[in-house]
Structure 1
Amino acid sequence: MIGALLVMIWLLVAMLLLLRRSQAVEVVPSGSPDEAQIAHHLLLDASPTPLVLVSGTTVRTMNRASRLLFASDDRILPPPSSLFDESATHLRHAGRNWRADRVEVGDRSVVALIDIEAEERTAEARASAEMIQVLGHEMLNGLVPIVSLAECGVAAAEAREGDSALLGEILTTLARRAEGLRRFTEAYRELARLPPPLRLTVSIEEMIDDLARLFASRWPGVHLSIDVQPGLCGEIDRDQMNQAIWALLQNAAEAVEQGGVPSGRIDIRATAGDDVLIIEVADNGPGIPPDCAHTIFRPFYTSKAGGSGIGLSLARQVVQAHGGVLTLLEPFPTTFRAQLPGAAALYGTGSVF
């Protein structure tokens, strides 16, 4: 009887313990925060962009891409010093250049590393495809009438009683079309074979004054206003920069003339700030339509009658070769801004060319 009583007491205690455990277990419903966190973690891990978490002096990987990049499952040792600099926007790791996009989360930072070289390769491939498309279009547009005129010339030559003047007219038109195609090819070669800039300390004021004299002889009816910071110099290739600024001035003058502006005006301004040379060219022409703003720098694109579509593309290529950027600051009034590294205000010191 004592044994049976002990067994009954043991069973009762066991049942009470099981009852308490069942009450303590929390059933997780569908769509709960736990499942949402799991889904979020899976999406984060599948992201192709390396993500790292910066907390104090510790850097940890956050997804598969960052673990592969830094060959670490958790802490990154040693961490790149650029990750601790909140003002740093780029870093170099594993032989590649990365752009660091930072998001502050409390006292920690989540940094996304963007492969700049991959972006550049994509942009180059897109630019090459556009260039091939433009070249193919222009070459076909030039060759089709040449072929047609040549066939007409052959037919006129074979006709025994044909008009001899007609053959001469056909050949003249044929030569003119062939010459136009040759000029297009030369323009493309000029754009594609731009040499590296030869940097020297150049007086920006003297360079723009020289351009102003040429501008006055070419467009006497357009007023050119010049505002250059006194003693401003830049480390540039003067010949190439002359060509780039002249292309901007020519673009502005043609816009003013073709826009029918009664009192055409172009403003050119040059200043320096934080070792950066800034040159702006603005005009009071009709402006650039919003749907054309993204295509104006495309090679051989032009909206002007008789335009080659080379000037703005060449100007941007020259500025980029100097490590700078050329942008359309405002579509109306049309304002272009070139920013180039290496500028200073010199007052009678140094060698200036």
Structure 2
Amino acid sequence: MRDPLLDTSVVAVKPSVRQLTFWAFAIVFLVLLIAWAGQWAAHREADFQSDSINRAIEVHALGLRGEAAKYNYLPFTASQHPDVIAALSSPKDLARRQRANRYLEDVNRRAGSDALYAIDLQGTTLTASNWNDPKGFVGESYANRPYFIDAREGRNGQFFGVGKTTGEPGLFLSAPVRHQGVILGVVVVKVSLRQIQETWAKARDPIMLSDAHGIFFLGSNAPWLYQAKTVVSQDDLAWVRQHEVYGARQVFPRVPWSVERTEGQPGYLIRTRINGQSRQFLAVDETLPDLGWTLTVMTDYVAVTRARNRTWMLGGLGACLLILGGLYLQLRERRFAEQRNARRELEVRVRERTHELGEAHAFRKAMEDSLLVGMRARDLEGHIIYVNPALSEITGYRADELIGRLPPYPYWHPDDLEKHWHDNDAMMSGQAALSGFESRVRHRDGHDVHTMVYTAPLIDATGKQSGWMSSVVDISEQKRAEIRQRQHDEQLQHAQRLASLGEMASTLAHELNQPLMALSNFASAAKAFAAQGNQSLLVNSLEEIMAQAQRTAEIVRRIRSFVRQRTQGVENCVIHDVVANVLALLKPEIRVQHARVVTHVQAPLPLVPGDRVLLEQVLLNLVLNSLQAMQNTPVDSRVVEIEATCVGATVFITVADRGPGIAADIAEQLFDPFFTTKVDGLGLGLNICRTIVESHRGHLSFENREGGGVIFTLQLESMS
């Protein structure tokens, strides 16, 4: 006869089909959720990387346009000189050609370009800055070059290619030489992009520039140069060969890329090999229509992969915790059910349950020991009763050194003792935030560890609270990432200052051209007066040359001073000096716009704590926007009014203009990043201005002005 006390079949509790189905669906759901979260994290990281690439593209494009525009004036200026016109009018007059050679040589040396030369209507070079060089251009035919064809037909030409004479690549800019309405020839300047090439070569990730046919001619990865993004058509290939764009090169193979595009994802994925290693890049193309080029900027795709894998790992850890909690609750349910059975069944169940609980405990301990999240249990008095290996790794203290300890614990940071006591009292009283709190601890070896602590009640087998269980997550890497992000934001603010300078570049270039042209004219006059022996007029011409040189040096000094300035941190700023510095920088722009600036600065104004350079940048951007907004306003009404007053402890600075104002349909987007109403604007000015003001605990707002125009108000707190 079977002893009912030993018959375990009487007390065996098997999971129901419903429970198994629930756990199966729960596990499948968690797996799908974790998989989706990983893909979402990867897409989010790809968006971030794409935004970083777009910001880099703006900087690189600005540099390319600046290099191209730097010498735009030179062909036209040289084409107006009498020596060049005389040489093209009388090509057989060797004396005139020699004077033109020396003039072009002097201008080329001063401008810093590679070469400056004049071509007759048959395409043959008559005079050149390198006339005395063994590889000089004099006598060479460039009739098949597009820049010569465009200029001969009366248009300014622009062309990038490999030099027929030197074999070195460069950017060619050309202009027709007109005399009494007739085109006599063409003046060409060759500009090297070597500096941009050297800068790109230091970049961590590839940067490539292709022409209108898709052929890479400039970039950071030399093996990809003179290869094409796609198969070059026969018509394009014939055009390139006809004009000898890239010298003797006749074949342009496809670049060794494998391109993958995903709908809805910014940019596209490139798989390739660099230095024998397989690499993946996220790439974004930017067309530069004014130059006829396409800029391709890439970033390593490993950051996207890491974001997805990190999310999968954290999701797996969270799922393990949920399953562990579910198993624990299920074990409690089964235990309560067993207590309601008869005493005879209970004796058998106790033996079986002891074994099951032992296995469950071992399983739970194995899972807790494998977690990367630190676990700490304390009783109601604050004694530490359990720590897992992850917490020992975070603090550097072994479990036997922590168990039994009361606050203050040895890993509490000595500089944050008051905060530690406050957080401890909140936890022990059950008032800790469910969303957790940050806590800085001191590792045993002395370095700081930033953690996020989550606390929940510890319930014993009877359902009573016996203490507190805390999860401790190491967020030091996240903190370091936040510091890197702040540094990135500071770099973006500096880039905005350069972008604002770029918007003034054309006006400043015009300002420089005037004294430079005057220098050339007075120098020619002085030479003529010296030949005539007219000492009085010669002295006057030399004095004018000195005045124009000083004017040019002052303009260059202001530009270089503005570009090289760096923020010095918080200081006590004098608003009157801030306004004066900004107006000094914008003096050429104000004169070009035929505008006036009226200032009303209350005296005295209290000092304002802040970064003087950043505050000047904000005011410069606002005044520059006002000047540009009044381009279609009658000249008599082009007035910018700057007023600075103080009300209590608050300083108000207003910038008002008489432009068209701001339409209601764009008012809400005015401070959005990359939103702009300018054809060549970046859309960063007002967004970064507001960020700078808010970082000074201030406020930037605007309102339309009665009678037309807009008023921007900058509100800052003073030291009083």
- TM-score w.r.t. the length of structure 2 is 0.25
Larger RCO (alpha carbons 8 Å, 6+ apart): 1
Tell me which structure has the larger Cα radius of gyration: 2
